[in-house]
Amino acid sequence: MEKPIAALIYDFDQTLCPGDMQEYGYMSGIGTTPEEFWPLCGQFAKEHHADGILAYMYMMREKARGRIGFTRDALQALGRDVAFYPGVETWFGRINAIGEACGLRVEHYIISSGIAEIIRGSAIGDQFKAIFAASFCYDAHGVAIWPATAVNYTAKTQYLFRINKGILDITNDRDLNAYTPQSKRRIPFSNMIYVGDGLTDVPCMKMTRQRGGYSIAVHAPGKTEISDDMILQKRADFAMEADYSKGSEMEQVVTELFRRIRATHDLTQRHERQMKAAYERRGHLLDADGGMRGGLSQDSEREELE
């Protein structure tokens, strides 16, 4: 029997790396600082009533002119400068092995407002089943010319459904919005663990929890205010330091959640087998009384779908 899939879904900036990805190679390349760059993006957004993600994407491209290349290859190369929290670079191999020992197949996903190309070029860029993040369109020379995707905090939730249904092609809206019975969905929400750090992660955290999954709020050492609020306000199930090292609290919690996900899966399967057997027995009894034949009634089938 195929192993159930557990999905670990991460924000990127300040969740896996301590800062925003632009603060590593990009800002030094254009000769600016976070204190200078981000207020410019905010000012541009306010003046033009622009989405904040589109505003910073525009500003990145404009400030790169004449200073650094702004091609797909150049953006991926910036990923090499991104630094990570302790243990992140060895996390994926360790946690995959732990999942395997718990009887699960583990998949990793990114849902980020950062730049997809920078994430792909980072030291961990090849660890993810899919990366849902802001991205550009490129001309024939590979130069970024227009935003292709902008992922703000409310748009993030659609990607949970893409993971749930296994529809990872972001151009495929038809299948995403089509009705899919729960039994046909690739990864149940109850098999999802969402890891984030800030208020932009709240919609995803809340939706994951409401639908039976789990959320973890992480924080930099000593900076607990936001993560404390998240757990106290029931946005997150757990709050802890962003330490992904071997034996860390993060590893311990995810291991325990893997065990729970596997146990929930097994109990759900047992419940469904018993339901099926009960329906079949009930169908036979009704047949003997001259009533319904063929097992489930139409009403029962409708309730199963709903």
CA nearest 128: which of 178, 195, 203, 177? 195
pLDDT tens, 255-295? 999 999 999 999 988 998 898 888 888 775 555 444 444 44
Determine the pLDDT at residue 297.
40
Determine the pLDDT at residue 168.
96
Distance from C-alpha of 248 to C-alpha of 160, rounded to nearest angstrom? 27
Q: Could you give phi then psi for residue 222, rounded to 5 degrees? A: 80, -10
Q: How many CA atoms does the CB half-sphere of 34 hold within 13 Å?
A: 7
Average pLDDT over residues 289-303: 42
Report which secondary-structure segment, H or E, holds 106: strand 105-115
Side chain identity at residue 298, one-letter code: Q
Is residue 151 scored above 80 in pLDDT? yes
Q: Could you give phi then psi for residue 11, rounded to 5 degrees? A: -70, 175
| HEC string for 203-251 | HHHHHHHHCCCEEEEEECCCCCHHHHHHHHCCCCCEEEECCCCCCCHHH
pLDDT tens, 41-79? 999 999 999 999 999 999 999 999 999 999 999 999 999
pLDDT tens, 157-211? 999 999 999 999 999 999 999 999 988 899 999 999 999 998 889 999 999 999 9
Show the tokens assigned to 46.
């306010």
Q: Count CB atoms within 10 A of the CB of residue 8.
A: 23
DSSP 145-171: EEEEE---TTTHHHHHHHHHHT---TT
Side chain identity at residue 179, one-letter code: Y
Q: Mean of the per-residue pLDDT values for the chain?
A: 91
Show the tokens assigned to 116.
């997809």
Note whether 19 and 116 are within 8 A (CB): no
Determine the pLDDT at residue 293.
47
Q: Quick one: CA dihedral 154, 157, 162, 165, positive or negative?
A: negative
Domains of the chain, CATH where assigned: 5-257 (3.40.50.1000), 265-305 (no CATH)
Entry pTM: 0.90
**Alpha carbon 121 to chain centroid, angstroms:** 18
Residues 6+ apart with CB under 8 A from 10: 16, 108, 109, 110, 111, 112, 194, 195, 196
Distance from C-alpha of 150 to C-alpha of 156, rounded to nearest angstrom? 10
